[in-house]
Structure 1
Amino acid sequence: MELENEISSSNNSSAGSREYKVVMLGAGGVGKSAMTMQFISHRFPDYHDPTIEDAYKTQVRIDDEPAYLDILDTAGQAEFTAMRDQYMRGGEGFIICYSITDRQSFQEAAEFKELIYCVRHTYDIPLVLVGNKTDLEEFRQVSTEEGMNLAREYSCSFFETSAALRFYIDDVFHGLVREIRRKESSLTVAEKKMKRKDSLWRKLKGSLRKKKESTT
């Protein structure tokens, strides 16, 4: 299923917005689909089959710049792990989710960065860690401190959210886009430095060649 809001379907080609490929990762039942639906359409789904993988598209403005998000909501069930390599190879940024009411889902979340590394061979990937279901505080099994510590280990932003109440949902997606932009910006600076070094090297070699020619 692909849900595409009116703005993205009508304006994407004309707006020429940068497209961001976002992948939702996490165990089944942690609320990945509910978070995505709340972000896209501001509604909480009554029912979602956790074995279905969905793609969602929307266009938003983040820091006064247009952003076209292509969001892949992956299934959390083990039988779908064979497709994870494809997600992790194609994604530009990842939202790793767990439920604060489910310690097992937190333990699974702690393994995703290594799984991404196995496919991408780099830890320098834009990530956001999310502990969902804060509306079920009385059933909490994972403390906020544990989430913060894992995010520190991942060197990424951390949010505790409630998809049911739409708490901090926009912050998660906006935060990931900012991370992707930050990475691109740093790469651009690095590329400019490399070009500058390359230019200096060529000039140095050129002057040495001229010097050699003048002495012969």
Structure 2
Amino acid sequence: MRLATMAQNYLLAPIQECPSDYLVKDIKLAVLGTGGVGKSAMIVRYLTRRFIGDYEPNTGNLYSRLVPVEGDQMFLQIQDTPGCIEVQEDVAQMLDSLTRCLKWADGFLLVYSITDYHSYQSIRPLYQHIRKIRPDSKIPIVIVGNKGDLAHSRQVSTNDGLQLANELGSVFLEISTSDNCQGVCEVFQYLCKEVSKKHSCGNGERRRSSLIPRPKSPNMQDLKRRFKQALSYKVK
């Protein structure tokens, strides 16, 4: 499968495009990965630096706020999941606990740290579990290599991230949450756009299927004429 390049280190999987003529009112994202990869920092950095106004951290590590997506204001909810995979044996247990979240979200960020090879190894089972829970869905998934500013402690090469994303048919971006907000904003905005596009496609299909030609309204003059004829017939 040939993948196009979007900005530096982006890999794009082919995604069906549909005319966006239907307003998507809410977008639900989940950020997944092992502990210590910077998931919470990414979310807070995006919500506090990209937009004007306060974001709302709700219970259960759920953040929400209005964000502009393709010229429309969308209600964005981001679920920050706990990084509870500390050893490889914990993967299956963690995946089971995430099932509810996977059914809830419209799109996913799978985050690893370039300084932690184990966190990189967790991305594939996370991706596979998402596809297992959502088998019929073309749900957007972005793979993120975080902590790009710690190149001196790197354990995962950029090519490793690109190769994994290529194999999984996903999108990849290597960023530094602490040094550069632009990369963080790009990855969230890209995912929001893909979710919006997917919803617009689905809603558009339902909308088009419901466009059944309605009968024309009767001509009022014609109704009056018939009514008068009926009255005159009764009088006779």
Q: TM-score, normalised by structure 2?
A: 0.66
Counterpart Cα distance in 1 of 2:128 and 2:137: 8
Kindly indicate which of the two structures has a greater share of residues assigned to helix.
1
Q: Identity of aligned pairs, percent?
A: 33
Structure showing greater Rg: 2
Counterpart Cα distance in 1 of 2:196 and 2:40: 24
Structure 1 gap ranges (5+)? 1-15, 44-51, 200-216
Give the corresponding residue for 2:49.
42
TM superposition shift of 1:60? 1.5
TM superposition shift of 1:155? 2.2
Give the corresponding residue for 2:124.
110
- Equivalent in 176, 198, 219 of residue 183 of structure 1: 198
TM superposition shift of 1:191? 5.0
Alignment of 1:46-125 (within 5 A): 54-78=61-85, 81=94, 82-122=96-136, 124-125=138-139
Give the corresponding residue for 1:148.
162
Counterpart Cα distance in 2 of 1:101 and 1:53: 28
- Aligned to 1:135, the other structure's residue is in SS state coil
- Equivalent in 24, 28, 31 of residue 38 of structure 2: 31
TM superposition shift of 1:20? 0.6
- Aligned to 2:35, the other structure's residue is in SS state coil
Q: Which residue type is aligned with residue 139 of structure 2?
A: I
Structure 2 gap ranges (5+)? 1-22, 51-58, 213-236
Q: TM-score, normalised by structure 1?
A: 0.71
CA pair 97-186 structure 1, distance change in 2 beyond 3 A: same
- Counting matched residue pairs gives 173
CA pair 135-53 structure 1, distance change in 2 beyond 3 A: farther
**Structure with greater contact order relative to length (CA < 8 Å, sep ≥ 6):** 2
- Aligned to 1:178, the other structure's residue is in SS state helix
Counterpart Cα distance in 1 of 2:24 and 2:135: 29
Give the corresponding residue for 1:168.
183
TM superposition shift of 1:139? 0.9
CA pair 106-123 structure 1, distance change in 2 beyond 3 A: farther
- Aligned to 1:101, the other structure's residue is in SS state coil
